């Protein structure tokens, strides 16, 4: 259970980072480094969501 809590905390931190990065995006002429940061954070978020789902599935199978 502790591992799941850690993953969920990381997910919340990534969500906050994504929100902050999106605020840095200008309405026009998006800067490539900011866009790369956003894409990287979103990839990390997706990977973490996958880990959480797999963890929950494995835990349910063991019950």
> pLDDT tens, 2-57?
889 999 999 999 999 999 999 988 888 888 999 999 999 999 999 999 999 999 89
- Contact between 21 and 37 (Cβ < 8 Å): yes
Which residues, in sequence order, are CB contacts of 14 under 8 Å at separation 6+? 41, 44, 45, 48
Domain range summary for the chain, segments of one domain joined by +:
2-61
Q: What is the pTM of this model?
A: 0.84
Q: Distance between CA 12 and CA 48 in Å, rounded?
A: 10
Q: Distance between CA 21 and CA 49 in Å, rounded?
A: 19
Confidence at residue 40, expressed as pLDDT on a 0 to 100 scale: 97
If you search the block for the tokens 């979103």, which residue do you land on? Answer: 42
- Contact between 45 and 15 (Cβ < 8 Å): yes
């Amino acid at each position: 259970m502790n591992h799941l809590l850690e993953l969920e905390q990381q997910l919340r931190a990534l969500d906050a980072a994504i929100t902050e990065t999106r605020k840095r995006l200008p309405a026009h002429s998006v800067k490539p480094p900011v866009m790369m940061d956003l894409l990287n954070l979103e990839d990390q978020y997706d990977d973490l969501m996958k880990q959480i789902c797999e963890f929950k599935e494995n835990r349910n199978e063991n019950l």
